[in-house]
A and B are shown apart, each in its own frame.
Chain A
Amino acid sequence: MAYVAIADRDAPIHDPHTFIEKYIWSQDHKVIAIQYSIVAIFVGLVALVLSGLMRLQLGFPDQFHFIDPNQYYQFITMHGMIMVIYLLTALFLGGFGNYLIPLMCGARDMVFPYMNMLSFWVYLLAVIVLLASFFVPGGPTGAGWTLYPPQAVLPGTPGAGLGIILMLVSLGIFIVAFTMGGLNYVTTVLQARCKGMTLMRMPLSVWGIFMATILGLLAFPALLVSAVMMTLDGTLGTSFFMPAMSSMGETLGHNGGSPLLFQHLFWFFGHPEVYIVALPAFGIVSDLLATHARKNIFGYRMMVWAILAIGGLSFVVWAHHMYVSGMNPYFGFFFATTTLIIAVPTAIKVYNWVLTLWKGNIHLRVPMLFAIGFIFTFVHGGLTGLFLGNVTVDLPLSDTYFVVGHFHMVMGVSPILVVFGAIYHWYPKITGRMYNERLGKVHFWATFLGTYAIYLPMHYLGILGVPRRYYALGNTEFLPDSVHTINAAITIAALIVAASVVLFLYNMITSLWKGEKAPPNPWGATTLEWQTPDTPPHHGNWGPKLPVVHRWAYDYSVPGAPDDFIPQNEPVDPKLGAGRDHGKGH
């Protein structure tokens, strides 16, 4: 039977006719991607402001009287949860996943467009419920982003009434939204690729997003289970997690619940969540590096296998977040071992990124700057992760700023650098406009140097023993005065980085009107999204005929080829052969 791509087999797809169908209730994956991205960035800005407020308190204690201890804990909690779930997860999967999967795979849209649209609106509902907790009596929860019971639902904790309930409900809604989106991403990758786009010809961006989605689909239920059970503990008085205890002189009705059970469930979700954020970043950065170094990615197959290995291993390391909670020493040994093993495929990826740059024709454009910056921050955060993966080193460092420095480096700054790099990279395709390169470079250097100025000293603070989670250090005897000076310096750096985000937004927004018109493929990239007949791509992406893929995604600088890149949909020239085949012997 002659080949007919899935996208062309079914009835014609959902052409929008009205403004509302086109831009509001849109089923077009590109519009949904932009909707996801705008909401995620907005809520991320809220979290950024919260971190600024926290830093003001830490850098200049008692100077800002509108920040009290309760609010400080509320800021911490909301900052953490928003950044990890509502910004990074939503932006990488709902934003980039939606935009890139159909375009990079050569599909017209996601396979379930209606469900894709619902996914966004349910996500928006989750965000609204979450933000509503700022306006209820008692304010948002201040339980810390891990929401550990029993304190999360006890009266002394800020937001223990409606705040924590809204948080848990919002998480439940988010998981429903994610599941609807995730089913789309996985099925589209498996089923709607165009002819010739084998799994091993997919760009690494798609691989990273694909694997992260699988992790999310399997791991988010753990968060749902813990959220449901904690909601019942908090509202109906069940005892899943709540032990028998007295609170504020009053004996509570709970009996025999296990707070450790919550921690296991939470981290069974929480650790894969690190890779739900990291794997799309790994994939995207691979494509940025190859494109802007004009060189094929080093060790493509190894990169794919590493993504799969990391995905599998990420389910057996969760308890390294719980060393201080106490566990059987053999468990500690097991989880320390698996944690160190996961460093192997991760290190392979880092080597391959560096080797991709080796002898490449490196163009230091803005996306490339961010991609190279990511390698630095990720190596830095990864190495400190090796410290903390060991039980004996983790115990003294666990409750200090060393951990804050580590995880912000590895899953805060690193993915955010990739987010910025990716936005700069695909902006011309998404908007049809170029941005101001100089402003972009200023943004990069302010972000890169600024984040180092924030998080590098935190490692030093941690080794000094400065405890995390404290509203104010006061005149703690064992801390030298330099701690306070460093804290003030970190705050100033944080404010500068925050200001650079304003610069970024200014550049992105003004370029929509003032930017030069973008050519269809300004970076000379090989992947399919740059080969669309229109820029930005129209509804349906490809015009009357779907593309046909003839080669992998990394045919850069092929000897003998007229250009330094060959698009994936370019037929194989019998004289040239394909890609590296031809390059042999040169």
Chain B
Amino acid sequence: MSNYAIVIALLVGVVAWYLVARQLTAKSWQSGEQPGDVGALKSAPARIGLWVFMAVVTSLFGLFLSAYAMRMHHGVGWCHLTIPPILWINTLVLVAASVALQLASRAVGRGQRTMAQLALTAGGALSIAFLAGQVAGWQAVGPSLYFIQGSPAIAFFYVLTIAHGLHLIGGLYVLGRSAMRFAGGAELIDLRQSLQLCSIYWHFLLLVWLVVFAVLLYL
């Protein structure tokens, strides 16, 4: 928990430093142009919104993992999780989904409609395959309430994978809307931002999964 607090404090510090360095020393009561006018911000609101959302999700998973570590440290009734091999395959599938969406985003940027369609379809299908694989992971770990009640590690496994899966499903909803627009013949230029943001979000969810997986493996 205290480690998490240090990370949060550092993050807040970095953000504060960034703001300080840019703008917070301005003497706003003086006349003339001031640094940090809003016109200087190049990013679209949706992009900033996504980054803020990813910060929230980072906090959520950071806290889940802190709770995991603390509960494990507490020790009583804890037995380590045996990681089912299918999780390695799932990880590779999610990596592939992330790469596919990156390709889709790039293809849209370059105006390559066929390539974009292929990559978009592959990204969506691989993401669904990842979710199915996670469900198979539950079967392998302990498919009934008996296991969930008996082992906090298994209960944590369920909670972490469900939380991660729900975020991926949210992403799939947005991706699905973009895909519908794509299928409806929307101009690529109109889809560019949406797919860029989807690919960023997929990379982020991949990173989250890698951290969660590493914690389950090694902690």
Contacts and interface: CB of A to CB of B under 8 A. Distances in A.
Contacts of B88: none
A193 interface: yes
Contacts of A296: 29
B28 A300 contact: yes
Given A225-B60, A301-B27, A578-B31, A258 B71 contact: yes
A325 to B, nearest CB: 13
Interface in A102-144: 111-112
A308 B49 contact: no
A237 B149 contact: yes
Nearest to B12: A312
A493 interface: no
A6 B45 contact: yes
Interface in B68-117: 70-71, 74-78
A134 B45 CA distance: 41
Contact of A579 (B4, B12, B19, B29): B29
Contacts of A311: 12
A256 B74 contact: yes
Interface stretch (A46-54, A197-205, A365-373, A429-437): A197-205
Interface in A180-200: 182-184, 186-188, 190-200
Contacts of A224: 60
Contacts of B8: 218, 315
B139 interface: no
A581 interface: yes
- Main secondary structure, interface of A, reads helix
Contacts of A555: 29
Give the contact-size bracket for chain A: 35 or more
A319 B38 CA distance: 39
Interface stretch (A228-236, A381-389, A443-451): A228-236
A198 B45 contact: no
A55 B106 CA distance: 65
A579 B28 CA distance: 9
Contacts of B145: 236-237
Give the contact-size bracket for chain B: 35 or more
B63 A221 contact: yes
B31 A240 contact: no
Contacts of B63: 221-222, 225, 265, 268
A195 B39 contact: yes
B37 A195 contact: yes
A197 B38 contact: yes
Interface in B1-46: 1-2, 4-5, 8-9, 12-13, 16, 19, 23-32, 34-39, 41, 43, 45
CB-CB nearest 10 A-B residue pairs: A256-B77, A256-B76, A578-B31, A221-B60, A111-B45, A255-B77, A200-B28, A193-B38, A552-B28, A200-B26
Interface of A: 3, 5-6, 111-112, 179, 182-184, 186-188, 190-201, 217-219, 221-222, 224-225, 228-229, 232, 236-240, 243-244, 253, 255-258, 261, 264-265, 268, 296, 300-301, 304-305, 308, 311-312, 315-316, 318, 331, 551-552, 554-555, 572, 577-581
Interface of B: 1-2, 4-5, 8-9, 12-13, 16, 19, 23-32, 34-39, 41, 43, 45, 48-49, 52-53, 55-56, 59-60, 63-64, 67, 70-71, 74-78, 145, 148-149, 152, 155-156, 159, 163
15 contacts: A190-B48, A191-B38, A192-B45, A197-B37, A199-B23, A218-B59, A221-B63, A240-B155, A244-B77, A257-B152, A258-B76, A268-B1, A268-B4, A296-B29, A312-B13
